[in-house]
């Protein structure tokens, strides 16, 4: 009988054993940790009892007799329609972005860059937890561009104010990277570019100035655009697009 092991030399790329099991779909991260500590997991035929033990892609991991197959990473861009919820499931039975996706195999996807029910536009679905965290975390400041249709014309003074000074909201100051009228549209339609991830930030910006948002559409997200992607449709991201997301 081979002795339990808890250490291994560091190599690249590696993943903690508990995360490897969780991503493989066998158990949650917490349950995976318990399984490892209870000696129910082996790596290359040797028992491992340390959840943080580093696993390499070539390693054979077995948890409670089940061989863990690393889940292939999936990256999807969705042009979300109105009245669609950006969650995996909805307790009220409303349509979610997951209902828009049809894959040839079961994959646990999670929405990144969430939009409220009435807002349309781009979101990303992925099972890559590291990328999801990078896209969602405020410190990475991913650029977003919105086309905003308001209940009345936006004054030039407000366009200059937002573009130059930004605006103070209840939960902090918001800097606007760029704001402009949309060519060929009435003056109540503007493009707003920002990095802020504050809740309902675009709607609150204009409400603070006395406007109501009639339509809100995110037309660009973290360098991705809606080109050739109709509302309610989706597509896989290309390798180059994934690389840009990871490296930006």
pLDDT per position as a tens digit, 15-62: 899 988 887 777 888 899 999 999 999 999 999 999 999 998 788 999
Task: Write down the pTM of the prediction.
Answer: 0.78
pLDDT tens for 67-90 read 887 778 899 999 999 999 998 888
Judged by average pLDDT, the poorest of 64-68, 100-104, 105-109, 219-223 is 105-109
Q: Backbone dihedral region of 198: left (phi > 0), alpha (psi from -120 to 50 degrees) or beta?
A: beta
Say which range, 120-124, 223-227, 243-247, has the weakest mean pLDDT: 243-247
HSE-CB for 114 with a 13 A CA cutoff: 15
pLDDT tens, residue by residue, 24-33? 777 888 899 9
Mean per-residue pLDDT over the chain, rounded? 89
Q: Are the C-beta atoms of residues 49 and 206 closer than 8 Å to each other?
A: no
**Is 116 a catalytic site residue?**
yes
Statement to judge: residues 161 and 51 lie in one domain: no
22 and 126 assigned to the same domain = no
The angle, 0 to 180 degrees and rounded to 10, between the axes of the packed helices 129-136 and 239-247 is 60
Evaluate whether residue 2 is within a structural domain: no
| CB contact at 8 A, 202 and 115 | no
Residues 156 and 214 in one domain: yes
**Is 43:60 a contact under the CB 8 Å cutoff?**
yes
Residues 161 and 134 in one domain: no
Residue 6 lies in a domain: no
Residue 157's SS3 state is helix
Domain that holds residue 211: 143-221
**Domain match, 103 and 207 both:** no
Mean pLDDT along residues 91-116: 87
Burial label, 53 (beta-carbon count in 10 A; 0-12, 13-18, 19+): buried
Q: What CATH code is carried by the domain that includes residue 36? A: 3.10.290.10
Report which of residues 248 and 231 the model is more confident about.
Answer: 231
pLDDT of 147 strictly over 90? yes
CATH code, 197: 3.30.2350.10
181, pLDDT greater than 60: yes
The b-or-e profile of 2-30 (16+ CB within 10 A means b, else e) is eeeeeebeeeeebbbbbbbbbbbebbeee
Check whether residue 85 and residue 201 sit in a common domain: no
Cα separation of 206 and 4, whole Å? Answer: 61
- Pick the catalytic residue from 116, 168, 175, 214: 116
What's the number of CA atoms in the CB half-sphere (13 Å) around residue 119?
A: 22
Establish if 216 belongs to a structural domain.
Answer: yes
Q: Note whether residue 3 is domain-resident.
A: no
Report how many domains make up the chain.
3
- CA-closest candidate to residue 122, choices 133, 136, 131, 111: 111
Same domain, 55 and 166: no
Do the domain assignments include residue 52?
A: yes
Give yes or no for residue 134 having a pLDDT over 90.
no
The verdict on 80 and 46 lying in the same domain is no
Query: What's the CA gap between 35 and 63, in Å, rounded?
Result: 8
Q: Are strands 41-43 and 46-47 parallel, antiparallel or unpaired?
A: antiparallel
């Amino acid at each position: 009988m081979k002795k339990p092991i808890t250490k291994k030399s560091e190599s690249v790329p590696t993943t903690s054993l508990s995360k490897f099991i969780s991503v493989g779909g066998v158990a949650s991260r917490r349950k995976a940790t318990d399984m490892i500590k209870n000696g129910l997991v082996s790596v290359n035929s040797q028992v491992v009892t340390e959840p943080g033990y580093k696993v390499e892609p070539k390693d054979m991991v077995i948890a409670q007799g089940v061989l863990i197959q690393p889940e292939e990473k999936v990256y999807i861009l969705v042009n979300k329609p109105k009245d669609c919820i950006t969650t995996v499931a909805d307790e009220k039975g409303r349509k979610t972005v997951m209902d828009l996706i049809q894959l040839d195999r079961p994959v646990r996807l999670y929405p990144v860059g969430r939009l409220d029910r009435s807002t349309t536009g781009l979101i990303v679905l992925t099972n890559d937890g590291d990328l999801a965290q990078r896209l969602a975390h405020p410190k990475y400041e991913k650029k977003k561009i919105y086309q905003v249709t308001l209940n009345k014309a936006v004054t030039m003074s407000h366009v200059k104010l937002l573009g130059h000074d930004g605006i103070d909201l209840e939960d902090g100051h918001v800097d606007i990277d760029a704001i402009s009228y949309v060519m060929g549209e009435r003056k109540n339609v503007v493009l707003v570019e920002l990095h802020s991830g504050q809740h309902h930030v675009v709607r609150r910006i204009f409400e603070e100035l006395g406007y109501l948002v009639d339509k809100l559409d995110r037309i660009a997200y973290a360098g991705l655009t809606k080109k050739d992607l109709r509302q309610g449709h989706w597509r896989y991201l290309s390798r180059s697009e994934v690389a840009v997301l990871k490296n930006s």
